[in-house]
Chain A
């Protein structure tokens, strides 16, 4: 934390002296209350609307349930069936490839844009709004837009490629290009992570750059040795949310390809949807949902475990000082 803020903390401490009236809460108590108030909507929503169905879906995953009769207890049968289900493994592979490519891609592109949007030039608010705009536009409408952009004959993407002498592929109609096309669409909604990156970038004290410059560090070294470590906690946050988001993608694939051609874009979420709402196999779909949850949980924990090796916090720095 910069030296600027230190005195302010001291002042608040002075105000919250032990001889305050009984109705005045201490700073820490007030902060705690603020914290809980801000968290309340999410936590109440979770407890009221999500927890019940989630617990029900755990139980349902051990049953055969078509919403017509009562669920029939089948023990681990759904999970056993999943292990031998060719399409489940295929969808796992599709989701895996999608996440493996789209998460780093989105992180890199959004960081690049955030750095550009952090420059001090005129009209920057305009550019920031422009780059954030796609995030607020709805999934299905945007997917329809992408369908036209990917049109092999009249689409803007292939028109551009042909200008530079490349014969563009049949994006959504061929097995080898449909998934890459979906990955490209994931770049549409990077506004959210750009915003978080920006906040992180603006929290880096200017004097760090100044002193590095005096020490003779060039642009790249300043980026590599100051910016990257100083925003590592933001990288961490974006990475975790990115992984979760990538494994959840649904609307774009549902509209653009519906999982085809020949299941080459059958993401796990699409396969879950098919089983739940097309075949009405609620037990089996619940089992898929829980396997999906375990994968997300495992990956998230893995990232958390790796954090001490690459994520730097201000408090730690202060402690080691």
Chain B
């Protein structure tokens, strides 16, 4: 031991220091970045000026996030169909990534000067528009039937005119919010289930009849707040009362949660839990169900949820139906969200990339209706027998309520931070009764407005 070149103490020291050095999470930053165009600058290119000459096979790199095995398979089959329909002309190579890697991958690809030609829109892509990385799709869309008001709800697409005049994303599907109910529980209580005529007052009186208590323990709840707990869900009550949580969807300048209509909306939902005790608090809900929603347990009579919940509810062991969101007095405003594609400005095959978006929004729509994963934007597909068959009662009425829907989004470069740091935690405290509606509204306005600057 005496002649060991490295003493034990020195070895331990080296080992520990190496370990502590390795402890720091390294942030990988690779690739040379391109210099972006000035913020929001519009790409002036028009269809037909592709870098890859016509007549050659145009290879398109497309990216979408993963939505579970069923929808992923549908997406892959869709691309296969597209490639078959465009054989010899276009070949789309679709990659699917988990959502938490999706935006990193896109931005790294931009950073390495090798952007995806086309990828699926979500709010983060607004940041890409702001950096001038997206292609103006207006010239492309102008030549298609997608902007035909008779066939498509064209007025709902206007929110994607990000500069006020030109669309930077091409829509293909819709989502909205609906009011779901457990038919079995309604039948058992002898109460008429919700329909398009219901107001929130009707919900309240039905919930009274459907809530079952044993001693001081509730064994069946009249309703669950569902997506009313999320800012865009509870905002539907604000809209119905003639207000909104911020002044405009694209580049809002001011949050106004403290306006009386908005505090009133928060108060109404809060009362359902803590005053009327008709809906479970978050901890009562978590005790009822974990990994699935409380509605699926069969112990809740009604719940407002996204239209994307339909497929998840198909497997529950009880009869259920849906209705449009209830009205506030006589007004109903439902939210909607658009699904669609954006094309990179620097794509070498923009025409071919847009063709995937166009084909998805037109030729593919009847198939989308059949698959029941997304709701088609093409009116005839949305109202087709394929779409309606197998859907719950009330589906048609719910879809009809979309016509005067408002966008349930917020387009701002700090969107992610506002939602994760301000809306989320503050509303959590409201729903757990740590803050009153007034306090929560004040806090959101203070913190949120700082992030809007």
- Distance in angstroms between the alpha carbons of A244 and B155 in the assembled complex: 56
For chain B, residues 3 to 49, give those with C-beta under 8 angstroms from any C-beta of chain A.
3-9, 12-13, 15-30, 33-36
For chain A, residues 41 to 71, give those with C-beta under 8 angstroms from any C-beta of chain B.
42-43, 46, 50, 53-54, 56-57, 60, 65-71
Contact B27 A276 (CB under 8 A): yes
Contact A69 B35 (CB under 8 A): yes
List 20 A-B pairs, Cβ < 8 Å. Answer: A32-B6, A66-B107, A66-B127, A68-B33, A68-B110, A68-B131, A68-B133, A71-B33, A148-B290, A154-B287, A173-B286, A241-B16, A241-B19, A260-B424, A262-B428, A278-B100, A279-B416, A282-B29, A296-B23, A300-B16
- Distance in angstroms between the alpha carbons of A73 and B181 in the assembled complex: 55
Contact B20 A233 (CB under 8 A): no
A263 sits at the interface (CB 8 A):
yes
Contact A57 B22 (CB under 8 A): no
List chain A residues, Cβ under 8 A from B424: 260
**When A67-B108, A67-B110, A173-B286 are in contact, do A260 and B26 touch as well, CB less than 8 Å?**
no
- Distance in angstroms between the alpha carbons of A151 and B283 in the assembled complex: 10
**When A50-B22, A53-B28, A282-B27 are in contact, do A240 and B36 touch as well, CB less than 8 Å?**
no
List chain B residues, Cβ under 8 A from A241: 16, 19
CB closest chain-B residue, reference A264: B425
Q: Chain A nearest CB: distance from B333 CB in Å?
A: 30
For chain A, residues 217 to 273, give those with C-beta under 8 angstroms from any C-beta of chain B.
233, 236-237, 240-241, 244-245, 247-248, 260-263, 269, 272
A152 sits at the interface (CB 8 A):
yes
A293 sits at the interface (CB 8 A):
yes
B420 sits at the interface (CB 8 A):
yes
Contact B33 A70 (CB under 8 A): yes
Measured CB to CB, the residues of A under 8 A from B are 1, 5, 9, 27-28, 31-32, 35, 42-43, 46, 50, 53-54, 56-57, 60, 65-71, 87, 147-148, 151-154, 170, 172-175, 233, 236-237, 240-241, 244-245, 247-248, 260-263, 269, 272, 274, 276-280, 282, 285-286, 289-290, 292-293, 296-297, 300, 304, 313-315
- Distance in angstroms between the alpha carbons of A5 and B1 in the assembled complex: 10
CB closest chain-A residue, reference B447: A86
- Distance in angstroms between the alpha carbons of A40 and B45 in the assembled complex: 54
- Distance in angstroms between the alpha carbons of A244 and B21 in the assembled complex: 9
Fill in one digit per residue for B152-189: 1 if any A CB lies within 8 Å of its CB, else 0.
00000000000000000000000000000000000000
List chain B residues, Cβ under 8 A from A233: 8-9, 12
For chain B, residues 420 to 442, give those with C-beta under 8 angstroms from any C-beta of chain A.
420-421, 424-425, 428-429, 432, 434
List chain B residues, Cβ under 8 A from A276: 27
Q: Chain A nearest CB: distance from B12 CB in Å?
A: 6
**B4, B25, B108, B131 pick with most chain A CB within 10 angstroms:** B25
- Distance in angstroms between the alpha carbons of A299 and B133 in the assembled complex: 44
Contact A31 B35 (CB under 8 A): no
Contact A237 B26 (CB under 8 A): no
- Distance in angstroms between the alpha carbons of A262 and B267 in the assembled complex: 20
Contact A35 B6 (CB under 8 A): yes
**When A9-B2, A56-B27, A289-B24 are in contact, do A277 and B104 touch as well, CB less than 8 Å?**
yes
With beta carbons under 8 angstroms apart, the residue of A28, A67, A247, A304 that contacts B107 is A67
List chain A residues, Cβ under 8 A from B434: 175, 262
B114 sits at the interface (CB 8 A):
no
Contact A240 B16 (CB under 8 A): yes
List chain A residues, Cβ under 8 A from B1: 1, 5, 9
- Distance in angstroms between the alpha carbons of A244 and B1 in the assembled complex: 30
B103 sits at the interface (CB 8 A):
yes
List chain A residues, Cβ under 8 A from B309: none
List chain B residues, Cβ under 8 A from A35: 5-6
List chain A residues, Cβ under 8 A from B9: 233, 313, 315
